[in-house]
Amino acid sequence: MATCNICGGSEFEDFRGRPFEKCSTCGSLARHRVGWAVYGQELLGTKNAEGYVLHLAPEPWLFPKLKEELTSGYLCADPSPKTYPHAPCLKLYFPQDFSLFPDGYFTAILHNHVLEHIPGHYGDHLKEFTRLLAPGGKMIFSIPGPYKGQPTKEGGEHLATDAERLEQFLQEDHYRLFGDDFEPTMEALPDGVFWKDALTDEARAALSVRPRKAPFFIWQRDG
Ligand SMILES: [Zn+2]
């Protein structure tokens, strides 16, 4: 029987056509449960958890748990802090606000389904995010897709209407669709290593997550 690692619940329901995706008790989705498992494996209890940790768009399922585990260096940010009343959010707009931070400022950067909301070129954003990581620091994140058999499509911010973005980018506020170049772009980032989360399909099943779904990506700056 699957159990939610956020709340301990054991009932799951379909969500947007995805079977047993949503925890009926706390409402967590697959990416929240996988995220918590991956943080447990890759971040919590490590030296990186003791420095400045930046969490973008801090989800209500993950914020309270991270707050309990991390130190006073745990920082949350979003362009629209009102969307996250449960968390003390800094108001940051990327890409403009990358320049606020010196090289190597953070020991970890966490973001889920954020990269598709940042206008511009995602390769530039990844260079900036990884620039902000201290030696040995990790970025742990997830994105929609990547979608196979097509290159990344960008430019949603230049469309005139939400309806056009919904049609071309699958959500009103998404500016890109990630494609086949995503992983090679990650691998080409200098001075670090890239890998996908190591949760097995069995571990996913125990969280009511289908095989290989909600992949988390990790990039670590060389130590
Ligand atoms: Zn739950």
* Domain containing residue 146: CATH number: 3.40.50.150
Q: Is the pLDDT of residue 156 over 90?
A: no
26 CA from centroid of ligand 1 (Å): 4
9 CA from centroid of ligand 1 (Å): 5
Q: Does residue 144 fall inside a structural domain?
A: yes
Distance from chain centroid for Cα 72: 21
61 CA from centroid of ligand 1 (Å): 8
| Banded pLDDT at 102 (limits 50, 70, 90) | very high
24 CA from centroid of ligand 1 (Å): 7
**Residue in the block written with tokens 């571990």:** 203
Q: Global pTM?
A: 0.95
Say how many domains are in the chain: 1
Q: Does residue 10 fall inside a structural domain?
A: no
Phi, psi dihedrals of residue 128, rounded to the nearest 5°: -70, -45
| Banded pLDDT at 169 (limits 50, 70, 90) | confident
- Write down the pLDDT at residue 159: 85
Q: Does residue 3 fall inside a structural domain?
A: no
Q: Does residue 7 fall inside a structural domain?
A: no
In terms of residue numbers, what domain contains 67? 30-221
Cβ proximity of 186 and 7 under 8 Å? no
33 CA from centroid of ligand 1 (Å): 8
Q: Strands (DSSP E) along 113-216, which ranges?
A: 133-142, 192-196
H or E stretch covering 13:
strand 12-15
- The 10s digit of each residue's pLDDT in 103-136 is 999 999 999 999 999 999 999 999 999 999 999 9
Q: Which residues pair with 15 in a beta bridge?
A: 18
- The 10s digit of each residue's pLDDT in 179-206 is 999 999 999 999 999 999 999 999 999 9
Q: Does residue 1 fall inside a structural domain?
A: no
208 CA from centroid of ligand 1 (Å): 10
- Write down the pLDDT at residue 171: 80
17 CA from centroid of ligand 1 (Å): 19
